[in-house]
């Protein structure tokens, strides 16, 4: 399974999870099969006047991921992810490897909706 995380930096599983979804500096994709990571930047959305969540969700969907782990996810991004068949999990962990472990242990709860308003 491929899981995307919104991150502040590219340090593999030691990357810091960002509190924002659409305006996070980058995304780290973790593959549970071989424990590999791939980082890609989200620079195009850092200062976007609008639509950052939607564009970020579309970028993640193009990475062939099955789940997203985030601190927060707005309503429009949440809908794009759901339509792409991507499950959303909320985690307040600060480091990717902590959230990965909780995901593997079944300790993260799947989000039933977005948890912040649009333009948060």
The pLDDT of residue 48 is 73
> Does the pLDDT value for residue 119 go beyond 70?
no
Residue 116 forms part of a structural domain: no
Residue 95 forms part of a structural domain: yes
Q: Give the Cα separation of 13 and 82 in Å (integer).
A: 25
Q: Look up the CATH number of the domain holding residue 8.
A: 3.30.420.130
Structure tokens at 1: 């399974």
Number of folded domains in the chain? 1
Residue 120 forms part of a structural domain: no
Task: Name the residue with tokens 């491929």.
Answer: 2
Domain extent, residue 7, equals: 2-104
69-112 pLDDT tens trace: 999 999 999 999 999 999 999 999 999 999 999 999 999 989 98
Segment 56-73 mean pLDDT: 95
The pLDDT of residue 66 is 98
């Amino acid at each position: 399974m491929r899981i995307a995380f919104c991150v502040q930096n590219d340090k593999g599983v030691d990357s810091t999870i960002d509190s924002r979804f659409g305006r996070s500096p980058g995304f780290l994709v973790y593959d549970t099969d071989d424990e590999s990571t791939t980082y890609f930047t989200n620079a195009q959305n850092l200062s976007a006047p609008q639509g950052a969540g939607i564009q970020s969700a579309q970028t993640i969907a193009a990475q062939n991921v099955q789940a997203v782990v985030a601190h927060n996810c707005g309503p429009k991004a949440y809908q794009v992810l759901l339509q792409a068949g991507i499950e959303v999990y909320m985690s307040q962990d600060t480091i990717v490897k902590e959230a990965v472990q909780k995901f593997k242990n079944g300790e993260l709860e799947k989000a039933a909706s977005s948890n912040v308003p649009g333009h948060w």
